[in-house]
Structure 1
Amino acid sequence: MRRTTALRAALSAALLLGGLAGASALPASATDSPAHRTQAPASGALLSAMQRDLGLTKRQAETRLAAEKTATAVEREAKRVAGSAYGGSWFDAARGRLTVALTRGANADAVRATGADVRLVKYSARQLDAAKSRIDALSAPAGISNWYVDPKAGSVVVDVVSAHRDDNDVRAFLTRARKAGPVTVRQTSHAPSTLAAGTVGGDPFYTGNVRCSIGFSVYGGFVTAGHCDQHTGAVYGWDGSYVGNFQGSSFPDNDYAWVNVGSGWWTVPVVLGWGTVSDQLVRGSAEAPVGASICRSGSTSHWHCGTVLAKNETVNYSQGAVHEMTKTSVCAEPGDSGGSFISGDQAQGVTSGGWGDCTSGGETWYQPVNEILNRYGLTLHTA
């Protein structure tokens, strides 16, 4: 639905070109303002969305946001103190604290002094990342959904589509994967897919026969999903006017792109709340830990929240594997690709793909925004 006031209409144009609502085709230095210094008090609407999607009371939502802000700051320092013994970390929502995995006890007291809990594990994050990289080099059959490093499990988790678990090519892949390092195999009933959709009405941008939405404003343009680039050149806004052109994109392998802005369009550091929450200011891009709450803005399903489930995950789309993705419990639908993932007021990434919908639920992956900023030498537009 189009905004009704003149102010909202003007803001809509700015938002669309500055980095907010979701998208519809799936698959410079990064500004990284510390969340503990920049995050503003949560709005009542944001708290309401968290209550709806995470099953929290208002007080629980406020408490969780405060704990996550602390955990984001603690994670950086704890990782530095842990050094080569670092085995990964995650936010424990039940306890409201960050847990850090360590391969030996020598640094445990120093890590605890940062405010984190400690769990001793066999493998370091470097060892697990190396094992995942070796698996990344393999050719995965369609029956393999995705794989990622799980610090809690202390291994690389490989998800297999249940209907294909006995396929010969799946078994052969798992045999090779186990030779790469510690592997845990899990089953899923869903295969991932990009969130592509044909041209439809809404508040999107268009390119070729695809509708997508903006992720975040950067100086000179906006970032979005790479699979949105149909290599047709021009990008058009929700009103059909010319916006700019894709200046760079990558898909598969990655799923990111950026578009320049001109012809009367401009950028603003805002993510559209679609009336569910107030439009959200973007104040930085401090990376939230695993277990933290996160919300997504998309032009089809609008505003939904969930939690960060895993990082550095490889997703095996039909078009090819995409690496270094972050998995969330947030739902999404066709038309949401390229849209904003945000935690508090910190930009997290652009919507790539997933499974399920916002009626029955599902999981969605995003490409981290700092990787996109660094790749193209862009600077996030912040408030």
Structure 2
Amino acid sequence: MSAKSDIDLLRSSVREFSEKVLMPVAKKIDAENFISEDILNQVANMGYFALRVPDKYGGPNLSTLESAIVVEELARASGAVAIMATVSGTMVAYPLVHYASEELKEEYLGRLSKGKIGAFALSEPCCGSDAANITTKAEIDGNDYVINGRKTWITNSTYADFFLVAARTGKQEDRHKGITIFVVDNKDCIEKSKLDMMGYRGSGTSELLFKDCRVPKENIVGEVNNGFKIIIDGLNEGRIITASTGLGIMQAAFDESLNYAKIRETMGKPIIEHEMVQSMIADMKVKLEASRLLIYNAAQKIDNNEIDYPMWSSIAKYATAKWGVDVVRLAMQVEGGFGYSKESNVERYYRDIKMIEIGDGTNEIQKLVISRSLAGKITSPRLKH
């Protein structure tokens, strides 16, 4: 897809699916912290868990921009489904596309295209922002590596068919130079403990304990001890799509509060006619559209492999996170007591949007990436094939 009409058609298709399938069950997903197999199958059948998988392997072969639009529209209905699509369809698929062997691509990209779900096991209790300090170990044993360690805050874990796992194959003091990425099938050596998160409830976020998980050497993605570059490249892509979930939530909150302001009356007139409410609505609209422009611009830079795309990815992620929280807070303010209750969807949006300031690199990390990029220390890490 490239022409504007194709983009519009894609957006229309995802919006129709989201409004028909996801909106009616979004509150239930949030309340129960679970997504039914039926809903997951419908999402999978649309190809949303395989967004970046090339058509060679049966996937939809979407660009970063197209993936961002899909996730934006999913998030208007369900942040949980949107973040699941973000992780499986981009943060898992993208590294496999660019760094995996042909055998791994055929097997695991093929699984994604058939509706299976992937998860990216990176964060650990010791190491969120400091990914170079991970302690999960992978030790060579014959033709296999044996993985032991703990991962946490891993989205999709409950439903995942396989994991991309970042593990230490070098010494701890090697930091980023001693990390390797493995594809690990879901099996009994992985113990899962589901987490009760504030937002994006239902996305299968869990803690994982790897106990002597044997993985064949052939399941290494890229090269031994060169996994950190893959992590960074995947995060540069993933930050844009994660920001797109925030964009969809912002849009939903704006739409709901605007409609509310048009029908809620005080002092004999709709509150949209009060200047204070008009000021909030205008502020929300500016931040919403500015975020959209930054996300789409950064996505196109990734698609063009422009050398400075990591900086623009962080700019878009940081701005959307900061402004997204502002927009949803204002939406709740417009709705007042109703917005603070679970009768309003804005209450759920408020809990969901906060994660954008934390996941895939906190706001503080994004500012570090931006400043280091301006100093010439960060450019595109993507390997050339």
Task: Give the TM-score normalised by structure 2.
Answer: 0.28
Structure with a larger share of its residues in strand? 1
Task: Give the TM-score normalised by structure 1.
Answer: 0.28
Structure with a larger share of its residues in helix? 2
